[in-house]
Amino acid sequence: MSKKYVMGNQAIAMGAIKAGVNLCCGYPGTPSSEIIETVAKYNKNGKIHVEWSVNEKAALEVAAAASYSGARSLVTMKMVGLNVAADPLMSLAYVGVKGGMVIVVADDPGPISSQTEQDTRMYAELARIPVFDPISPEDAFEMIEEAFSYSEKYHTPVIFRPTTRIDHAYAAIDFDEEVNPASYEGFVKDSKKWVIFPRLSRMNHEMIEKRNPKIGEDFSSYKRNTVEGKGDLAIISSGINYQYTKEALKAFDRDVKLIRIGTPYPFPESFVREALKGVKTVLAVEELEPFLEQKLTELVGIFHLDIDIKGKRSGNAPLAGENSTDIVKEMLEAFFAEETLEELRVKKSKDNAKNGNAEEAGIVECGAESRPAPPMRPPVLCAGCPHRASFYAVKQAMKGRKANFCGDIGCYTLGNAMPLDMVDTCLCMGAGINMAQGFHWTNEDTVNFAFVGDSTFFASGMTGVVNAVYNDADMVLCVLDNSTTAMTGHQPHPGTGINMMGDVVSKISIEAILKAVGLKKVITVDPLKLDEAVEAVKECADIKGVTAVIFKSPCIALYKPEKKFEVNEKCVNCLKCIKEIGCPAIVREDGKVKIDTSLCTGCGLCSKVCPMGAISAGGDKNSAGQIKAGGDGNNKEDK
Ligand code: SF4
Ligand code: SF4
Ligand code: SF4
């Protein structure tokens, strides 16, 4: 046993190992990605099967069979991934499991790195499966073992729902590195149990509706549903918001009860009723949906309790976005003053204006101490990112032609930023390929492009390609193949030739898949060979049917640049390099264009854009062609 200082996701993985998990699988997605990586790191004896599955649906189905066999399984994803896994989730809730199954779904209030502010508690209720809400990495480490036990006790998958601030917080954990998964029976055939038919569904649905109140009752004595303090005012909270509230309460000298809900669904009604005894008003402090608020409303209605509920609906909590200790402090201030947040803010603003404090009147929302806002750092493709060259090549090829550019989820969503401006739509994983087809059927005389990364192609792009070929659409698929899942931390995928058990496996060729599916043309090109890339796009755009350009060049995080580029004396300050490609390494200093060599990765794209030949490889202006990683870009190897 040794103490380790780890992030929340690592603590979750370590808790699952401690719980004797047999199989772990998932799909990368911030803020959940480090869980699988941590299990793989400690799985030195290979006793746990660990995998990055091609997507969340595949992961959940792999885990379902393991749990049917009596093994303990852990599935990880971010909340939007649960949409992909929703089909098996809904059925699995009805069928149930034998070995414990914990589905870790990381929610992302803000959102900080997601498309939506989806609340997994709503999914848990929809699927009728229990959900666990940890308040810290230490809590998560202990709680996940309990989640496995409840899963086995009630033969149901359970959801474990950390949010970003829990996933990314750090704490010291006592951990025994030895991996000893629990033993299990193996699959015992029983078609009346494991084959979902309408009759079985109806029976199991009724069973679940009768069972869940019992789980709620069981949760009422669960040690992570707690109440502290006294008085006729109460605050109900869960997860990181419980921590914000505890901290914020220190600023007020008020008697108040603080109720922590560790299991939002099924709601521990008896516990909450008991905790609310003597309470006249309760404030729900939570992010995303007003889930606890809704549960309180039901409780108060069913039991005719004389309790006033404050929260998002009453204007006492922000409707969207992430909370913080300061925001919760402001919520408490309004709550104690019996005002809404809006009323409090208006009053503060007027007071500040009256006192001549113009800045506070208009800007500072809460908190005694005002801090300068951190500088804005807009998200941008890295200097030397091969996607920049791919987008630029398509842009050049389509000059003077009407074209729609459908983006997707990955680093390349950042192709929407100026000056590239090459992402017209972005909806969800894999959507761009189908959307390009929709544009084809509804927009005459346009060339319709879909950009998809290599990992996304395997996760949810392939079916869209089949749809396009089958329905005879005209579109150009651009696969931005950087040989990794870059955005979530460079995880391997089926095209990289390595898996999470550390095995070297066959690389699945995207080019071979596209040819097998029957595309009219498939061209693989290095985007840093700009002229060839432009020609490839033009050729594909002129062919009817589905064609593809595979832009193959590794993410700059996968190789070490050997040379940097510099602006030389031929520069006429035309700014074309800045205005057309937007590489963050190219800057203006004292009115002159310069390359920040601490950022430049030597991709050489700018040297091809410059009309004056004013950008060359640093140190040796004639050696660009010899540079391995980048250089003039003509000899980059796939790693
Ligand atoms: S070579 Fe040019 S485009 Fe490439 S990273 Fe360096 S400055 Fe940016
Ligand atoms: S991490 Fe890699 S793929 Fe993502 S923006 Fe940077 S270079 Fe491009
Ligand atoms: S494109 Fe070339 S000439 Fe124009 S500013 Fe950039 S380096 Fe100078």
Name the residue with tokens 């911030």.
30
Sign of the alpha-carbon torsion through 240, 243, 247, 250: positive
Neighbours of 633 (CB within 10 A): 26
Query: Which one of 567, 603, 632 would you pick to mutate in the ligand 1 pocket, going by the greatest count of ligand atoms within 8 A of its CB?
Result: 603
Q: Where are the domains positioned within the chain?
A: 2-219, 226-354, 386-558
Percent of the chain clearing pLDDT 90 (strictly above): 88
β-strand pairing of 521-525 with 23-26: unpaired
For the residues 360-389, what does the mean pLDDT come to? Answer: 72
Nearest ligand to the C-alpha atom of residue 573: 3
Whether 2-219 and 226-354 share one fold: the answer is yes
β-strand pairing of 170-175 with 2-7: antiparallel
- Strand ranges for 517-601 from DSSP E: 521-525, 546-552, 565-567, 586-589, 592-595
| Residue 121 tokens, joined | 């508690």
Q: How many helices (H) and strands (E) does the chain have?
A: 24, 22
The arrangement of secondary structure in 386-558, i.e. its CATH architecture, is 3-Layer(aba) Sandwich (3.40)
**How far, in Å, are 17, 95, 99, 189 from residue 185 at the CA level?**
19, 18, 9, 12
Q: What distance separates the 2 farthest-apart alpha carbons in the chain? A: 84
- Exposure string of 306-324, with b = 16+ CB inside 10 Å and e = fewer, is ebebbbbebbbbeeeebbb
**CATH H-level superfamily of 2-219:** Thiamin diphosphate (ThDP)-binding fold, Pyr/PP domains (3.40.50.970)
For the residues 344-350, what does the mean pLDDT come to? Answer: 89
Burial class of 202 by CB neighbour count within 10 A (0 to 12, 13 to 18, 19+): exposed
3-state helix, strand, coil split of the chain in percent (to 5) is 40, 15, 45
Q: Are 561 and 616 in contact (CB under 8 A)?
A: no
Give me the pLDDT at residue 149, please. 98
| Residue-wise pLDDT tens digits, 610-632 | 999 999 998 543 333 333 333 33
Q: Are 236 and 285 in contact (CB under 8 A)?
A: yes
Residue 297 or 351, more confident: 297
CATH fit for domain 226-354, picks 3.90.105.20, 3.40.50.920, 3.40.47.10, 3.40.50.80: 3.40.50.920
pTM of the model: 0.89
| Residue 447 tokens, joined | 């060339």
Q: Is 129 in the pocket of ligand 2 (CB under 6 A)?
A: no
| Residue-wise pLDDT tens digits, 179-226 | 999 999 999 999 999 999 999 999 999 999 999 999 999 999 999 999
Name the residue with tokens 């009768």.
210
Q: Is 480 in the pocket of ligand 2 (CB under 6 A)?
A: no
For the residues 476-500, what does the mean pLDDT come to? Answer: 94
Name the residue with tokens 């959307």.
435
| Residue-wise pLDDT tens digits, 589-598 | 999 999 999 9
Q: Give the single-character DSSP code of 410.
A: S
Query: Which one of 586, 587, 598, 627 would you pick to mutate in the ligand 1 pocket, going by the greatest count of ligand atoms within 8 A of its CB?
Result: 586
| Residue-wise pLDDT tens digits, 543-556 | 999 999 999 999 99
Amino acid at 324: S
Q: Is 392 in the pocket of ligand 1 (CB under 6 A)?
A: no
